[in-house]
Structure 1
Amino acid sequence: MTSSPVSGRRGFLLAGGALGAGTLLAGCTSNAPAGEKQDAAVSGGGDNAAPGKQVTIGFSAPAADHGWLAAMTTNARAQAEQYSDVTFNLTEGSNDVNQQIAHVETLVNQQVDVLVVLPKDGKALTNAARRAMDAGIPVVNVDRVFDSPEAYRAWIGGDNYGMGANAADFIAAELRRRGISDPVIAEIAGTDSLPLTQERSSGFRDGLSQHDLSVSRRVAADFTVESGQREAANLLQASDRIDAIWNHDDDQGIGVLAAIEAAGRDEFFLVGGAGSSTMMKHIQADNRVVKATVLYSPSMASSAVSLARLLAQGRGMAALAEHEIPRSMTTYSAVVTKANVEEYLDLGFSS
């Protein structure tokens, strides 16, 4: 790959900055008349861990029928328990959208101080969240975004496009390391109708294209063990040769690995998605086809609770100069490999 014009220009600017730093500094400090007071620089400060006023956080999420979803609720509860100034009002998870709407409305009627909502369906929950905002209850929207920005005060979620792009980069590097040219690259996606799946696939395609590679075979599962096993079996049966596979989700990856073992295939390597402890242990042992997983960590639920607490207490983030909580935060999809897996084991969740 050739260097981009931006990277070349950045190198020039860095070099110029190193040569002229003293001159630039002198020029900046001499612009004001002698004796005139300079404006103070804005900086972060405070201690977000220090107790604030007592607040009640309402939490709503879908049923924990999936390892990642279960970990989201577990992480949120555990984070709330760390704060002596937080009362955590957890509703029962449900995959019935109407029931989740009712749960959110109940929390609003209870006049909680702030809401954290991971919607089953962002579009369907938008009006309920907007009613909370209209009632003066700030909403932290987690992962699956509402249809209107007026339905939430802050959003935190994963980088689906970045997941795909980072998976592509790892696969391209590993193929080069193995000396494989003209590779057959397969993709086992999640539910195709979901925007998050579409974003992951788009990032994967775009990432591969940066390395002059493309997806050769693609199937779509449904984020379940059963669908992962079924679609992986179909993929393997239809493909005599595969060099690399990216599987979007480590929960469905349990089924994918079962299909691979049943087929007796091991000529390829597999990259997972989300970062389950099961896949991380396979990566650590290095005795299966799975060689990496791209994080989409449920730790975002812990961060959502922390943000909700600060919102309800009228505080900003101590490490940032802004006085208010940011409007949105996107987590990073790090690639976990044998070289760094020990650093990320604490983020793993049970599949």
Structure 2
Amino acid sequence: MTDIPRAPRAATSRRNMLFGTAAAGAALLAAGCTSNENNDEGKESAGAEVADSKPGKKVTIGFAGPQADHGWLNAITTQAKNRAKKYQDVTLEATEGSNDNATQVGQVETLINKKVDVLVVLPADGKALTQVGLKAMRAGIPVVNLDRIFSSQQAYRCWIGGDNYGMGLNAGHYIGEQLKDKKNAKVVELAGIDSLELTRERTKGFDDALKNYPNIKKVARQAAEFTVESGQKKMSELLQAQKKFDALWNHDDDQGVGAERAIKQAGRDEFLMVGGAGSKRVMQAIKDDDSVIKATVLYPPTMAASAIDLARALGQGKGIAGMAEYEIPAHVTLYSAVVTKKNVDEYLPIGFT
């Protein structure tokens, strides 16, 4: 790729800047978006401004997400609100969450009409809210698309979210390493909602990881619905069908509450269990080490706090620390760390309830 002379930033209109941004995604760990302690020298030499915690240009951020009817979604809203409070120069306009697409579209349109500086949107359905994302971008309001992605990249300036494939991959590798010396090991999977692409990505990552362990066979899979009730029902079915296995991967710690009830009712403890998402309850169980739960794979709700950081940087026309670019990246994919007894104390503070 050849070098292209850079046009002066002041000559670029806000609307053209939004739609002219390079589409290539940058996968990185979204930590330290607001700190420039480690890269001041590089930033100064590049001429880029870096968003930091010092008060700057005032920014009004509109936030719209689904109804907080799930532990992880509740944590998303909490993370966004708490992060915004840390900045003297940020005003957060948050809507009341809704799982109804038409209602959420109306909420985002209200924020557009209020002329917020930046929008952070976690859509109940990415495809259904794509048009309102496009409307905001065309109005000159940059959109930070959180987790559930819009169907057009023109509908957002930056996407930040979890790595569903990586979540399954890391769960599979952890289980594989625990069972690599066991002959004819058997594992089962308690998935989420099968109609969601994220569930299919998690399963694919899990299956791909297990291919590295020829001694391990996945003998059963049930799809639940990310609820306690469905987790208990589907786990009961797995336990009845499989009289003995060595490991269970559960995609979601909230539905895991029901799964654990079924396990206790069945009196089974011959296997290890790996959770998904990273609830505080599961992390505490890992630390106590008195149940089948030995690990959980993160899908960090801290992404909402990082989305506020990115929105603030956008509103102030700045880049982020640790990168030489003038602008924030187009895509930020978070890492799905595996939490075990060895590192649980490090991650407990970000566990959600």
Name the % identity. Answer: 57
Q: What does residue 308 of structure 1 align with?
A: 311
Q: Distance in 2 between matches of 1:121 and 1:134?
A: 20
**Match status 1:82 vs 2:76:** no
> Is the alpha carbon distance of 1:46 and 1:96 closer, same or farther for their aligned partners in structure 2, counting shifts above 3 Å?
closer
Q: What does residue 209 of structure 2 align with?
A: 207
Q: Distance in 1 between matches of 2:88 and 2:235?
A: 47
Q: Distance in 1 between matches of 2:308 and 2:124?
A: 18
More helix by share: 1
Note the 1:45-60 alignment, pairs <5 A.
46=50, 48-60=52-64
Maintained 8 Å contact 1:44/1:319? no
Structure 1 residue identity aligned to 2:226: F
Structure 2 residue identity aligned to 1:183: A
1:251 alignment partner, SS class? helix
Q: Distance in 1 between matches of 2:311 and 2:69?
A: 25
Structure 2 residue identity aligned to 1:340: N
The structural deviation recorded for 1:269 is 0.5
Q: Deviations over 1:38-80 (max 9, x none)?
A: xx96487745112111111000000000000000000000000
Q: Distance in 2 between matches of 1:130 and 1:333?
A: 30
> Is the alpha carbon distance of 1:262 and 1:333 closer, same or farther for their aligned partners in structure 2, counting shifts above 3 Å?
same
Q: What does residue 343 of structure 2 align with?
A: 340
Note the 1:1-351 alignment, pairs <5 A.
42=46, 46=50, 48-176=52-180, 179-212=181-214, 213-350=216-353
My pick for the range that moved more, 321-330 or 42-51, is: 42-51
Larger CA Rg, structure 1 vs 2? 1
Query: How many positions carry a matched residue from both structures?
Result: 309
Q: What does residue 14 of structure 1 align with?
A: none
The structural deviation recorded for 1:319 is 2.2
Q: Distance in 2 between matches of 1:275 and 1:94?
A: 23
The structural deviation recorded for 1:242 is 1.1
1:164 alignment partner, SS class? helix
The structural deviation recorded for 1:188 is 0.3
1:267 alignment partner, SS class? coil
Gaps of 5+ in 1: 1-39
> Is the alpha carbon distance of 1:120 and 1:45 closer, same or farther for their aligned partners in structure 2, counting shifts above 3 Å?
same
1:245 alignment partner, SS class? strand
RMSD: 1.3
Q: Which runs of 4+ in 1 moved over 3 A?
A: 40-47
Q: Distance in 1 between matches of 2:47 and 2:113?
A: 38
Structure 2 residue identity aligned to 1:258: R
Structure 2 residue identity aligned to 1:155: W
1:124 alignment partner, SS class? coil
* TM-score, normalised with respect to structure 1: 0.86
1:146 alignment partner, SS class? coil
* TM-score, normalised with respect to structure 2: 0.86
Maintained 8 Å contact 2:49/2:319? no
The structural deviation recorded for 1:234 is 0.5
Q: Distance in 2 between matches of 1:165 and 1:331?
A: 14
Maintained 8 Å contact 1:165/1:207? yes
Maintained 8 Å contact 1:44/1:318? no
Gaps of 5+ in 2: 1-43
Asked which structure has the greater RCO (Cα within 8 Å, sep 6+), the reply is 2
